[in-house]
């Protein structure tokens, strides 16, 4: 099957419609494909925007992953380089290099665990936290624009439905 190379990039909506049509033609359930393809398409486009935004503040997506994990960790959760490597799916040696660069920039600090002196704990510095806040606040403006077509009730309903889908995903993947 020959496909011509488009000269103009299709809109995300046109791409979404073409993907759904192809998945349904291949035997996928239309309702399922509409939802999953929409979520994936939004995620893909937002990831492109986030990558550009992170570049503007001098962060790689890998560094952002570390900052995000540290900033959103529940109080009292001990975060180690090994945990960060596992959570971001990179080799421990690569995480060490990433943490070195981030530490040099003053974004995080590594300290020995007082209860287990063989373990190192990682935490955001005030500079790291302020950078996290800056990125979140800038993202919130764009994300609000994306959801601007939905009123407050629709946003709340969408959030609830997506949370239910996430629970379903956890259950489906946990069963395997």
Residues 103/110, Cβ–Cβ less than 8 Å = yes
CB 132 within 8 A of CB 63: no
- Check residue 35 and report its DSSP letter: H
Reading the chain (176 residues) residue by residue, the pLDDT tens digits are 455 555 677 888 899 999 999 999 999 999 999 999 999 999 999 999 999 999 999 999 999 999 999 999 988 788 999 999 999 999 999 999 999 999 999 999 999 999 998 999 999 999 999 999 999 999 999 999 999 999 999 999 999 999 999 999 999 988 55
* pLDDT score for 10: 83
Strand partners, 122: 110
Write the DSSP assignment of 131-159 as a string of letters.
HHHHHHHHHHHHHHHHTTTS-HHHHHHHH
Global pTM value: 0.79
Record the tokens describing residue 49, joined without a space.
Answer: 């925007």
Of the candidates 65, 136, 144, 48, which has an alpha carbon nearest to the alpha carbon of residue 99?
65
DSSP state, residue 108: E
Cβ distance 57 to 137 under 8 Å?
no
């Amino acid at each position: 099957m020959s496909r011509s190379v488009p000269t103009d990039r299709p809109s995300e909506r046109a791409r979404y419609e073409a993907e759904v049509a192809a998945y349904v033609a291949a035997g996928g359930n239309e309702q399922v494909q509409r939802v999953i393809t929409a979520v994936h398409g939004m995620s893909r486009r937002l990831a492109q925007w986030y990558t550009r935004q992170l570049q503007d503040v001098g962060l790689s997506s890998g560094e952002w992953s570390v900052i995000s994990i540290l900033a959103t960790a529940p109080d009292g959760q001990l975060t180690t380089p090994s945990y960060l490597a596992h959570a971001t799916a990179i080799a421990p040696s690569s995480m060490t290099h990433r943490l070195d660069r981030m530490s040099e920039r003053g974004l995080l600090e590594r300290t020995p665990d007082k209860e287990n002196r063989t373990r190192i704990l990682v935490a955001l510095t005030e500079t790291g936290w302020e950078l996290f806040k800056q990125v979140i606040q800038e993202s919130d403006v764009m994300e609000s624009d994306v959801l601007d077509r939905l009123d407050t009730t629709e946003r709340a309903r969408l959030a609830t439905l997506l949370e239910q889908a996430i629970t379903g995903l956890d259950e489906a993947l946990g069963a395997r």
